[in-house]
Structure 1
Amino acid sequence: MKIGFIGYGKSTNRYHMPFVEDSGQYEIVGFYTRGSKSFDMPYQTNTDLTRFPDVEQLLNSDAEVISVTTPPEYHYEYTKKSILAGKHVIVEKPFCNTLAEVEDLYRLAEAHNVKITPYQNRRYDSDFLTIKNILQRQDIGKVMEIESNHTHYRPDGADNRGNQYDGSVLGHAVHFIDQIVSLYGEPDSIIYDVCNQKNFYIGEGLMHSDTVPEDYYDIKLIYGNLRIRVRHSQLIVKHPPRWIINATEATVEKYEIDQQERDLKQGIFLDSPTFGHDTAEGLCKIYYKDRVEEVPAEYLHYTQFYNDFKDWVEGKRPNPPVEKSEALAVIHILETIANKAEYVPLKLQK
């Protein structure tokens, strides 16, 4: 299957290209990127890539799939152009900035008989896959509470400027909200708290919502009696467990997030035998009343996203990597929070 990229920055080079080439099922036609900025690309592709002078020439090429990896403000524009050119489309997260834009793209895709999906690669994170399997076990009892923590200690950048779409919710929470939606679908309701902690921390005063985007969020997704907390802060010196599950018969703790991103940032790629593997501290443990069980990690690289997408386009699997209802639910949740609005469920069918 032939693929082209709109955008060619670190997203393409770090989070897409290594896995497209690892798949072995795609021929890369080339890319289009705005401007003339050159990037120091740590991943050295095996392909002699063609840089198209404008997006129209890329869309008029024999590429069957377009992967849109531009900044989010261009996702809707370029995805729409790709659909109208008869291309299947993979769109980096967040899919778009608004629910209306995503709904419009799905309508267009259906009208032009092409497939589209957001690139939710973190569904293939080892920590998430490990927790996903544990949640299917009967011996932990009924799950009552889940915590999804992803904290850092990065006190720099307190004076970053932007609007509500430049903050941590759309740029970061999108991954982890999607993981929960992939498990449980659209929530019944949400409770959320967002703010800028670093700006306040350095003494510049409380944030102005129109100039300093949030860098902290604490989002609770409610499913009947199940409570799921998704939390992010950049001022945590000692990280909590990445996952905590409290069930009637056990408590589960999993430290450390998936290591693929860490390795990619360090220039470690899939040719390394330890690529994406947890450290010893990342071992998952189930605490029962009378014993502790250690659970080995489940590994499935982001390559699988591209394999699944190709199989879906070719009719070899019935479902996309991300269901339409899931994509709509995620954007609706994020847009609600970004606009500080009251959440009203869309009542989607999962």
Structure 2
Amino acid sequence: MKLGFIGYGKSTNRYHMPFVEASGQFDIVGFYTRGSKSFEMPYQAKAEPQRFDDIEQLLKSDVEAISVTTPPSTHYQFAKQCILAGKHVIVEKPFCNTLAEAKELYQLAEQHKVKITPYQNRRYDSDFLTIKKILQRQDLGKVMEIESNHTHYRPDGADNQGDKYAGSVYGHAVHFIDQVVSLYGEPDSIIYDVCNQKNFYIGEGLTYSDTVPEDYYDIKLIYGNLRIRVRHSQLIVKHPPRWIINGTEATVEKYDIDQQERDLKQGIFLDSPTFGHDTPESLCKIHFKNRIEEVPADYQHYTQFYNDFKDWVDGKRLSPPVEKNEALVVMHILETIANKAAYVPLNLQD
């Protein structure tokens, strides 16, 4: 498949190019970027892709699919251009800013007989895949609650400014809400708490507002009696387990998020046999009443997203990497929080 990129910065070169090239199923036609193509990234493509002077040149080439990896505020505009040009589209997270934009993109894609999907690469995280497999076990008893923690200590950027789409909910929670929605579908309701911690505690003392985006969120997705907590803070010195599952017969703990990003930052690539592997301390443990079981990680690479996308376009796979209704539910949750509104389920029908 002939693939092109709109955007050619850190996102393309860290989260896309290594995995596209590892797939071996794509011919990278080239890219368009408004920037200088300058980024801090040790990865070098096997062959330097062609740079197109404008989007129209790229869209008029023999490219079949486009990955949109530009800043989020431009996703809707660029994805729409690609669809109208008859190209299949992969759109980096967040898919776009609003549910209405997302619905329009899907409608246009159907009208123009092309495929579109958001790039939710963290569905292929080893920690998530391991937890997903564990949730299928019967010996946990009845699962009562799940915690998905994404915390770290990163005090820089206390003076960040931006609109309601520029905070951690659209930038980070989108991944982890998507993981939950992929498992359980649309929640019955959500309870959320968002604020700005870094500016308030170590910056100028400003609180979350229309110009100071949130950098903390605590979101609870409710499915009947099941409670799933998705949490993020950038001022936690000692991070909690990445995952906690409490069942009536066992508790599951998994420390540390998937390590593919860490390795890429360090210049460790997919040709390393230990690429993306956990440290021994990070292995998932199930605490039963009278024993502890260590669970090997389920490793996949983000390459699988692109393989699944190609199989879907080629008709070898019935479903996309991210189902349309799942993408719309995630978009609805994000928009609800951004608008500080009460959550009303979409109740989408297949």
Q: Quick check: TM above 0.5?
A: yes
Equivalent residue runs for 1:199-214 within 5 Å: 199-202=199-202, 204-214=204-214
Matched, 1:333 2:333: yes
User: 2-side partners of 1:228 and 1:126: how far apart?
Assistant: 19
User: 1-side partners of 2:346 and 2:281: how far apart?
Assistant: 40
Matched, 1:59 2:59: yes
CA 36–235 in structure 1, closer or farther in 2 if over 3 Å, else same: closer
When structure 1 is superposed on structure 2, of 38-47 and 283-292 the one drifting more is: 38-47
| Paired amino acid for 1:161 | Q
* Equivalence for 1:254: 254
User: 2-side partners of 1:238 and 1:36: how far apart?
Assistant: 38
CA contact (8 A) 2:124 2:300 kept: yes
Q: Secondary structure at the match of 1:67?
A: strand
User: 1-side partners of 2:140 and 2:348: how far apart?
Assistant: 29
* Equivalence for 2:141: 141
| Paired amino acid for 1:124 | Y
Cα deviation, 1:28-73, whole Å, max 9, x if unaligned, reads 0000001445335421111231000000010001111100000001
User: 2-side partners of 1:145 and 1:78: how far apart?
Assistant: 39
Cα shift at 1:83: 0.4
Which consecutive residues of structure 1, in runs of 5 or more, have no partner in the other structure? none
Superposition TM-score, scaled by structure 2 size: 0.98
Q: Secondary structure at the match of 2:96?
A: coil
* Equivalence for 1:47: 47
* Equivalence for 1:195: 195
* Equivalence for 1:108: 108
User: 2-side partners of 1:208 and 1:191: how far apart?
Assistant: 18
| Paired amino acid for 1:291 | R
Identical aligned residues as a percent: 83
Q: Secondary structure at the match of 2:51?
A: coil
User: 1-side partners of 2:98 and 2:229: how far apart?
Assistant: 23
Q: Secondary structure at the match of 1:81?
A: helix
Cα shift at 1:349: 3.8
Equivalent residue runs for 1:220-259 within 5 Å: 220-259=220-259
* Equivalence for 1:277: 277
Q: Secondary structure at the match of 2:180?
A: helix
| Paired amino acid for 1:108 | L
Cα deviation, 1:275-310, whole Å, max 9, x if unaligned, reads 100011111011111111110000000000000000
CA contact (8 A) 2:219 2:230 kept: yes
Cα shift at 1:223: 0.3
CA 66–209 in structure 1, closer or farther in 2 if over 3 Å, else same: same
When structure 1 is superposed on structure 2, of 242-251 and 200-209 the one drifting more is: 200-209
| Paired amino acid for 1:59 | L
Equivalent residue runs for 1:20-31 within 5 Å: 20-31=20-31
| Paired amino acid for 2:162 | G
User: 2-side partners of 1:265 and 1:35: how far apart?
Assistant: 21
| Paired amino acid for 1:290 | N
| Paired amino acid for 1:133 | K
Cα shift at 1:203: 5.9
Number of residues paired by the alignment? Answer: 350
CA 48–206 in structure 1, closer or farther in 2 if over 3 Å, else same: closer
Q: Secondary structure at the match of 2:110?
A: helix
Matched, 1:172 2:200: no
**CA RMSD across the alignment:** 1.0
User: 2-side partners of 1:99 and 1:135: how far apart?
Assistant: 30
Superposition TM-score, scaled by structure 1 size: 0.98
Which consecutive residues of structure 2, in runs of 5 or more, have no partner in the other structure? none
* Equivalence for 2:74: 74
* Equivalence for 1:346: 346
User: 2-side partners of 1:153 and 1:133: how far apart?
Assistant: 29
* Equivalence for 1:309: 309
